[in-house]
Amino acid sequence: MLALYLTASRWMVPLANRKLATRLIEGKEDPDRIEERRGIASHPRPQGELIWFHAASVGESLSLLDLIESLIDERPDINVLITTGTRTSADLLQSRLPDQTIHQFVPLDARPFVRSFLDHWKPDVAIWTESELWPALIHETHDRNIPMISLNTRMSKDSYNKWIRIRGAAQVLLNHFDLFLTQDKITAEHLLRLGASPDIVQVNGSLKESSGALPYDEETRQAISSSLETRPVWLAASTHPGEEDIVATAHRMAQRASPRLLLIIAPRHPERGPDIAETLRKQGWRVALRSEGVEPDAVMDIYIADTLGEMGLWYRIAPFNFLGGSLVPIGGHNPYEPAALGSAILHGPHVANAQDVYDRLDAAEGARHVADPQGLGEAVIHLLEPHTSAAMAHAAWEVSSEGAQASESAFTEIIAALDRSVGGN
């Protein structure tokens, strides 16, 4: 099946171009950089050693930045290429890329596009993050004897069930890699059952756990804190459709105990902000939108933080948060980000994407499971007591601070792979 896919991928260009045309119409591609998706670079390759990182999207790409800075500090002459597949990730990375680091969109998995990409960039080491497995990209990279490491690897049960149906193809692809550094034991077990050699699978923990705190602007934080006039505040972060109604119901309960309480909603997809605001206004809420340049004040009920790159600000302002994607079947989102910034965590039952982490946070009383609007409202009221939320936030921070080893191990393995690659050339 893998051979069939690779053969077909030689002739995928017309299909890939139609897909790109559709994505352009839908606003999912940057028209000024569309050629990058065909493997045509928009930057020259810098001279010297080049480490290539591929990250699936926003969270994965941001979790790499501290590691990249550490690598450049160690080897000032190296260059770094980071590829992603979404416009959102590109926009966020634009202002945060370390020196000597270039961003490009990853080519679609058609072999002519992949070959054009690799012919230009000629990376000395290739690093995949999380669970992106593109057969043509992996095969062509391996075929050029470029060392490959899968970093922060995570494979959900659903992904495993899909790959096990084509175990032979999975086994070949997995063993093209030199090393897998997995987030958890479950992923390691999945890889081994799919046929990965035990010699290349190591449980390493999550890189997100050891990544630096999300950035923020201190002047903005002070200005918002001043405009709130000591109002109590809580945050609903990375919410998905269906969750805004739940948190609004919980907020109504909590306002009976604390009438001045403000709810900040930061939707996972900020473009949903105006629709969320319209729905909530129809329910009688006083709502304002961050994207309209309004700051939270002393009278509004709900503030929609529908902007990119400001989660570090909201986690610092709110002493506790509900982390979305967990009361609807999404699988949950990265709890390390709020934990590292001293924001206690409430979450629903759907956290399979990081089940072991949530279990650790719950066991340490740094996070709390809620099942419905009633439970969320009761938890919010409970955490309005400053000493309660502070104790829970400290416990979450302690869990988040245990992960420095993951980054250190990744750093060591990448430097070793680079030395082997350069030495072999």
- In angstroms, how far is CA 349 from the centroid of its own chain? 20
Burial class (CB within 10 angstroms; exposed 0-12, middle 13-18, buried 19+) of 371: exposed
Q: Which of 396, 360, 368 is nearest to 184 (CA)?
A: 360
**Helix (H, G, I), strand (E, B), or coil: what is residue 400?**
helix
Enumerate the H helices of 75-217 as residue ranges: 87-94, 111-121, 135-143, 157-164, 167-174, 185-193, 207-210
H or E segment at 396?
Answer: helix 386-400
User: Is-contact 389 318, C-beta < 8 A?
Assistant: no
| Residue of 60, 130, 140, 243 marked active site | 60
> What is residue 95's DSSP assignment?
T
- CA atoms within 13 A of residue 138's CA, in its CB half-sphere: 22
What is the C-alpha separation between 385 and 325, in angstroms, rounded? Answer: 26
Dig out the tokens for 164 from the structure. 């096990």
What is the C-alpha separation between 210 and 347, in angstroms, rounded? Answer: 21
What is the C-alpha separation between 269 and 263, in angstroms, rounded? Answer: 18
Q: How many residues does the chain have?
A: 425
For 163, phi and psi rounded to 5 degrees?
-70, -30
Could you confirm whether 398 is annotated as catalytic?
no
Q: Which of 338, 372, 157 is nearest to 253 (CA)?
A: 372
What is the C-alpha separation between 22 and 362, in angstroms, rounded? Answer: 43
What is the C-alpha separation between 151 and 129, in angstroms, rounded? Answer: 5
Q: How many helices (H) and strands (E) does the chain have?
A: 20, 14
Sign of the four-CA dihedral 167, 172, 176, 178: positive
What is the C-alpha separation between 414 and 211, in angstroms, rounded? Answer: 16
Q: For residue 310, give Cα distances in angstroms to 2, 92, 148, 408.
A: 42, 10, 33, 27
User: Is-contact 328 241, C-beta < 8 A?
Assistant: yes
Which residues have a catalytic role annotated? 60
